[in-house]
Amino acid sequence: MSTTLIFGASGQLGQCLAHVAQERGTPNLVFLAEAQGNILNKEGLAALFAQHRPAYCINCAAYTAVDKAEDEVDLARKINRDGVENLARLCGEYGTVLIQISTDFVFAGTGNLPLLETDATEPISVYGLTKLEGEQVIEAHTDRFFVLRTSWLYSEYANNFVKTMLKLGREREELRVIWDQVGTPTYAIDLAGCILTIIETQNQQFGLYHYSNEGLTSWYDFAVAIFELSTTPVRTVAIRTAEYPTKATRPMYSVMDKTKAKTELGVAIPHWQASLRTCMERLAAAQ
């Protein structure tokens, strides 16, 4: 059976892939945390590809500290662009299918219609720019790739908005949350399921895709839904972006159109509210 290498396995999406793969019984997945598979170590990567000759390579490794990236441009670019290029080059040599995870931050977020894969990119942060550069370096080395842009990832694993809100909701009487940034939360378990479906069906519809959950919301309404499902008695106050200045500028509207993913990849995409309920039930059960 052919092997799949998963880089960045200790992060949120990597852990979700391990969870879903165990549920499905997906075989021959090699999970590589940074110590076992550093995407900046060309010699180490070459040895891994020579050893496993993988049919698929999933890159979950990324620099994701959005505000910190404004000061650490070189490091963000090394990981989000150069590391991707290292993988793409080896995927081209071995005929390996590369599955790269990207972001809604490649868009400026100034519109009000769901974003298509063909819409113009215009990143407004270092993070968004370096992730777009990572998308762009792939095609020079291989045409056997899937780039999946996603947004607002959360799960039971690692640090994310849902777990942060639950923690702060227990500690404080009032929380101020931005209401004028609109997008779609994505349950990383659902995204992991989409990735494994690509592998299990040996899908050949290569290219760029948008994948988030269905629907749209603001960060404020997302937080309110979290507190309602967890019966957390915290007062939630809606504020404008201008009232919560950050180093990096965020897209104000980053809802993505998923028609292509549903049609070409054959995946059913749950609504964000249904997936949030599932995540909250799992978090509660784990306590």
Per-residue model confidence (pLDDT) at position 1: 60
pLDDT digits (tens, 9 = 90+) for 139-177: 999 999 999 999 999 999 999 999 999 999 999 999 999
Catalytic residue among 127, 187, 220, 253: 127
**154 in catalytic set:** no
d(CA 155, CA 92): 32
d(CA 187, CA 271): 10
Every domain of the chain and the residues it spans: 4-159+187-212+254-270
d(CA 164, CA 212): 20
Which CATH architecture best describes the domain 4-159+187-212+254-270?
A: 3-Layer(aba) Sandwich (3.40)
Packed helices 219-230 and 161-171: angle between N→C axes, nearest 10 degrees: 60
- CB burial of 251-274 (b: ≥16 within 10 Å; e: otherwise) equals bbbbbbbbebbeebbebebbebee
Dig out the tokens for 246 from the structure: 């950050």
56: nearest Cα among 32, 30, 79 = 30
- CB burial of 134-157 (b: ≥16 within 10 Å; e: otherwise) equals bbebbeebbebbbbbbbbbbbbbb
Per-residue model confidence (pLDDT) at position 145: 98
243 phi and psi angles, rounded to 5 deg: -85, -5
pLDDT digits (tens, 9 = 90+) for 96-146: 999 999 999 999 999 999 999 999 999 999 999 999 999 999 999 999 999
For the whole model, what pTM was predicted? 0.97
Q: In which residue are the tokens 């620099």 written? A: 63
The residues that bridge with 148 in the sheet, in sequence order, are 101, 209
Q: In which residue are the tokens 């809802």 written? A: 255
d(CA 223, CA 234): 10
With beta carbons less than 8 A apart as the criterion, state whether 60 and 7 touch. Answer: yes
pLDDT bin (cut points 50, 70, 90) of residue 287 is confident
Q: What is the mean pLDDT of the chain?
A: 97
pLDDT digits (tens, 9 = 90+) for 14-43: 999 999 999 999 999 999 999 999 999 999
pLDDT at 199 over 90: yes
